[in-house]
């Protein structure tokens, strides 16, 4: 399962090279169920003025929610910084729920 998380981190790092400070509205993708025996961690972040927020959710192959969370942080953040904080928190949530 760790290799799956490492793959997601690699994909995030590769995609962050092309992240713009503004994103197009409507650029959404429907959640896809992972294979049986695999856990999927989804996270996202948003930035607005002097605040950022993030959310994390972990599901199994049946779509059952194993855990998650979210929070807000005060301060000025770039989109990249906010996404990295969300990634870090998703790893903490995975560790808390013994997914790793």
- Please state whether the predicted TM-score (pTM) of the whole model is above 0.85: no
**Per-residue pLDDT tens digits for 43-66:** 999 999 899 999 999 998 888 898
d(C-alpha 60, C-alpha 58), whole Å: 7
The CA angle 95-33-87, to the nearest 5 degrees, is: 35
- The pLDDT > 90 percentage for the chain reads 39
Q: Which two tokens stand for residue 88?
A: 């870090």
Both structure tokens of 98: 């013994």
For residue 44, the Cα-to-chain-centroid distance in whole angstroms is: 5
Rounded CA separation 36/54 (Å)? 27
Q: Say yes or no to pLDDT of 69 above 50.
A: yes
Q: Please give the mean pLDDT across all residues of the chain.
A: 79
pLDDT digits (tens, 9 = 90+) for 81-93: 999 999 999 999 8
**If you average pLDDT over residues 31-52, what whole number do you get?**
89
Question: Which residues neighbour 53 within 8 Å (Cβ) at sequence distance 6 or greater?
Answer: 45, 46, 70, 71, 72, 73
Q: Can you name the residues that pair with 46 across neighbouring β-strands?
A: 53
């Amino acid at each position: 399962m760790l290799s799956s998380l490492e793959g997601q981190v690699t994909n995030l790092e590769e995609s962050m090279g092309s992240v713009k400070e503004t994103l197009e509205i409507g650029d959404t993708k429907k959640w896809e169920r992972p294979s049986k025996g695999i856990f999927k961690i989804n996270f996202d972040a948003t930035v607005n003025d002097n605040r950022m927020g993030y959310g994390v959710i972990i599901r199994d192959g049946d779509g059952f929610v194993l855990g998650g969370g979210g929070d807000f942080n005060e301060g000025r953040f770039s989109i990249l910084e906010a996404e990295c904080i969300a990634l870090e928190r998703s790893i903490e949530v995975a560790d808390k729920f013994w997914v790793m």
